[in-house]
Amino acid sequence: MNFSRIMGFNRLQHSGLHLKRFTGNRGTLIQMHHSLRNITLSNASILAIFLLPIFFDMFIWQNLDIIMGLWEDIFSYFIKSMELKGRVFYTDFSILGHIIYVPFPDLETTMPSQQMVWINVLVCVGIFILSFIIPQSFLPVAYFIRALTLIQFSASGYFFLHPNNFPYEMGDYMSGTLALGIYFLLLIPPLLGMIFYIFDFSLFKKIFVTLLILSYFILFLPFQYMLHALIIHRGTLLFMPVLYLNFSLILDSLMFIGWYSWAMSGNQPNDNHD
């Protein structure tokens, strides 16, 4: 056994230098990241994991008619105030044998002209080339722009090959995405149960964060897809693929991650860690 190494390590410990590993630049203690901790669940956290998602999903389920009425009012307001050609329709789908009627805006749409498709190709190529002059510090932005232009470019290719045949109408797109939004709302409480309620935050914070996130998406979803409808109405079906692939459920998921990150910042939970 190398006693000199052991003695040297003990001297390092007693000198306090080993503590610098866990000290920030302002002398504050660097907290261990949650992903590296062993969590001991309290009885309150275990109850919250199972009971709160059930409570909030039942709350959404019992108030779906009110939520759908709110969405219909939002769609009707924009269609009427902007004098758009279209109206609010309802689509029905079943969850656990219960029929849900989801309102959606069905606006007049047109196929893109060949001139518009060519303009779209030139704009996509130009933006793709310009993305290479974006500074390296903004490289994720450049990648996102390139992805958008490639999707939009592929949409142009489709309309070159099938100028008068597109498999989706405005109503199909709107009804499908908004029905998916209902599932997304019902999925939020169980997700929070698995990734947020496991930490020993106060019950008030868990309820407050859940209500805040649910309220946000209940209000955001109709505005989000009303904007989609307006873009497709004014810009033709050429823009439906990029809206669906980049600015529908993916955008909602990223926003949920943003809300979760915000909720996990600030005060640290009072959980027990090994």
DSSP state of 68: H
DSSP 36-61: GSPEE--HHHHHHHHHHHHHHHHHHH
**37 pLDDT higher than 80:** no
SS3 35: helix
Residue 148 has a pLDDT of 95
C-alpha–C-alpha distance, residues 9 and 12, integer Å: 5
* Backbone CA torsion sign across 66, 68, 74, 78: negative
For the chain, give the mean pLDDT.
Answer: 87
Which tokens sit at 269? Answer: 């939970």
Long-range contacts, 35-41 (Cβ 8 Å, 24+): 37/273, 37/274, 38/273, 38/274, 39/198, 39/199, 39/271, 39/272, 39/273, 40/271, 40/272, 40/273, 40/274, 41/198, 41/271
User: For the chain, how are helix, strand and coil distributed in percent, rounded to 5?
Assistant: 70, 10, 20
Q: Which tens digits make up the pLDDT trace of 244-262? A: 999 999 999 999 999 999 9
Residue 83 has a pLDDT of 94
Count Cα atoms within 13 angstroms, Cβ side, for 131.
Answer: 18
**6 pLDDT higher than 60:** no
Count of helices and strands (H, E) across the chain: 9, 4
**28 pLDDT higher than 80:** no
**92 pLDDT higher than 70:** yes
Nearest to 242 by CA among 152, 167, 130: 152
Residue 77 has a pLDDT of 97
C-alpha–C-alpha distance, residues 145 and 141, integer Å: 6
Residue 272 has a pLDDT of 46
Residue 268 has a pLDDT of 57
Count Cα atoms within 13 angstroms, Cβ side, for 84.
Answer: 24
The CA-atom distances, in angstroms, between 53 and each of 211, 220, 267 are: 11, 21, 23
**14 pLDDT higher than 60:** no
Nearest to 90 by CA among 178, 157, 163: 178
C-alpha–C-alpha distance, residues 121 and 155, integer Å: 9
C-alpha–C-alpha distance, residues 102 and 64, integer Å: 9
Q: Which tens digits make up the pLDDT trace of 108-152? A: 999 999 999 999 999 999 999 999 999 989 999 999 999 999 999
Percent of the chain with pLDDT over 70: 83
**29 pLDDT higher than 80:** no
Residue 143 has a pLDDT of 95
Residue bearing the bigger pLDDT, 172 or 11: 172
Phi, psi torsion values for 101, nearest 5 degrees: -105, 115
**89 pLDDT higher than 90:** yes
**237 pLDDT higher than 50:** yes
Residue 7 has a pLDDT of 47
Phi, psi torsion values for 90, nearest 5 degrees: -120, 140
Residue bearing the bigger pLDDT, 24 or 232: 232
Q: Is the pTM of this model over 0.85?
A: no
Which tokens sit at 230? Answer: 């307006």
**24 pLDDT higher than 80:** no
Residue 4 has a pLDDT of 46
Residues 6+ apart with CB under 8 A from 18: 12
Q: Which tens digits make up the pLDDT trace of 161-216? A: 888 888 889 999 999 999 999 999 999 999 999 999 988 889 999 999 999 999 99
**158 pLDDT higher than 80:** yes
